[in-house]
Structure 1
Amino acid sequence: MAAYVSNLSREADYGADHRATAALHDCFSLFGDAIGQIRDSLKQMRQLSGSGESLRFQMSNVQTWMSAALTNEDTCTDGFEDVPDGPMKVDLCGRVVKVEEVTSNALALVNSYVAKVSGP
């Protein structure tokens, strides 16, 4: 997704709609941040150790990073609210929704795991 947005933003640099260009650049930056947050989550999940408070702290980090990634993905589409509808906007926003669904599902799995390890 980040490569797709990067390619679009390079093309938009030559376009006339400055709002769309700014939104694309913002989206590219936001997706870069989201990718970093998801990578941090994966790294933490691979290194889980301990139990009790230590494990809860590690999982809290994962939840925070995954939630932040989801927020960044959502913020990407917010930048297009003032951009007129067109093929690029429709395609990009549709792709972002699909990425958000996957991130949301991953966060739900993390939350389910946290609920199990935390107990009642």
Structure 2
Amino acid sequence: MPYFGIACSAPDLIAAGHEVKNAAFTPTYYVTGGAAGIGNAPAPVTYELWDPTLFVDGTRLAPQQNTSNLGSGLYVWCDDPTARTPAQIAVAITMPLRVMAQKTWGPPKSGSYPEFVALSDQVAEPVS
């Protein structure tokens, strides 16, 4: 959902000489409980539709602007600290973290989502 506020856009900040980091609510936030948890983006959707150059206000960085983009991350918010245990959170964010790593460190897409899952399962540590 685009943010419509008075804040500067990422391209505006870059034009002013700043570096940016994409912290759009969806899909970079994972919320453990409460009403905001409904915004947790499924990993396949993030893999197919999002990249770190697409910001919450709907703007997308041009290639020359992307040199000032520090990437993104997965930000875990425990709105309800009793909603999940740390182990449950670790399991729940495994694929979103893998997708975020792929999107920020590698080519935007490495085949289909099922191919990506198979490859990430081969190279990642097992999740318990």
Alignment TM class, shorter chain as reference: 0.3 to 0.5
The TM-score normalised by the length of structure 2 is 0.32
TM-score when scaled to structure 1? 0.33
Between structures 1 and 2, the one with greater strand share? 2
Q: Which has the higher helix share?
A: 1
Which of these two proteins has the greater Rg computed from alpha carbons? 1
